[in-house]
């Protein structure tokens, strides 16, 4: 279920006078599209990963999709792959976004419209409604969890992966989620950075630990500051490793600890036989 429970776009027809339904149906459609756009969030991604493709059989020019005769290189299926076959030389087709001879420029793989993307860290789910330029995605969220900065998102259809560079809420998107920004579990990645600056400025933003969970328990770290447990916890959240903390006093002999004992001996002699 989308996180917008009272969508203005769904109430446009009820809010407008009745004569608009007969005299201005296009105007109603325009208003619906306009408010739907205002409810979208703008996600900018970076470090997009390209999809690896299957190489061509021998006979093609290296790095090209066609040989010297202008014929497309094909990848043949092995004999006995499936039977019976009506095709004597069955071939594997190219992907739909691989270039053709008429369009030799390599097409860049990308996210697809109407596909869902999922965050690897937060588990946030959103649908891509509009694919903009310069790595912009206009999305509609379907979870209360927000995308974190630098987390990896994966397209459920294209299987493309990228990292979140920033997330900018549109006016209606921000207004509908205004109260959620104060909740560390539901706030956006940008506001999460504000929480970090205020409550734990000594913690780097690139830590491996869960930032939302850490901010809820940072008071425990402050109370245990200077102890062995605090240093072990610090290395765990920064580097994801267990640190072994030892103190010099455990391997140093202190002379004052040793005890000096001087025995006293009494000797008795008899003067009589």
157 contacts 125 by C-beta, under 8 angstroms: no
**Model pTM score:** 0.53
pLDDT tens digits for 149-186?
888 999 988 888 999 888 877 777 777 777 777 778 77
- DSSP tag of 179: G
The C-alpha angle 210, 212, 218, rounded to 5 degrees, equals 95
Across 27-36, 43-52, 83-92, 113-122, least confident range: 83-92
Main-chain phi, psi angles of 210, to 5 degrees: -70, 115
pLDDT at 51: 52
Measured CA to CA, the distance from residue 206 to residue 221 in angstroms comes to 18
138 contacts 132 by C-beta, under 8 angstroms: yes
């Amino acid at each position: 279920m989308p996180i917008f429970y009272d969508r203005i776009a769904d109430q446009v027809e009820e809010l407008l006078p009745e004569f608009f339904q007969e005299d201005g149906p296009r105007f109603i459609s325009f208003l619906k599209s306009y408010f739907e756009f205002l409810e979208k969030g703008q996600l900018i991604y970076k470090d997009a990963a390209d999809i690896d493709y299957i190489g061509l059989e021998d006979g093609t020019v290296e790095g090209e999709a066609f040989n010297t005769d202008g014929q497309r290189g094909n990848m043949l299926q092995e004999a006995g792959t499936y039977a019976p076959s009506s095709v004597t030389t069955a071939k594997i087709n190219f992907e739909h976004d691989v270039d053709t001879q008429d369009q030799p420029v390599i097409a860049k793989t990308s996210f697809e419209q109407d596909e869902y993307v999922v965050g690897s860290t937060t588990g946030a789910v959103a649908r891509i409604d509009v694919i903009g330029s310069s790595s912009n995605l206009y999305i509609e969220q379907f979870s209360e969890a927000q995308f974190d900065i630098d987390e990896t998102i994966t397209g459920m259809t294209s299987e493309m992966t990228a990292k979140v560079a920033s997330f900018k809420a549109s006016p209606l998107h921000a207004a509908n989620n205004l109260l959620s920004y104060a909740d560390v579990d539901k706030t956006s990645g940008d506001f999460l950075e504000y929480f970090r600056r205020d409550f734990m400025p000594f913690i780097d933003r690139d830590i491996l630990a869960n930032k939302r969970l850490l901010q809820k328990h940072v008071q425990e770290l402050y109370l245990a500051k200077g102890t062995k447990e605090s240093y072990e916890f610090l290395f765990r959240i920064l580097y994801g490793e267990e640190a072994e903390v030892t103190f010099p006093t455990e391997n140093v002999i202190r002379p004052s600890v040793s005890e000096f004992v001087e025995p006293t001996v009494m000797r008795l002699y008899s003067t009589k036989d």
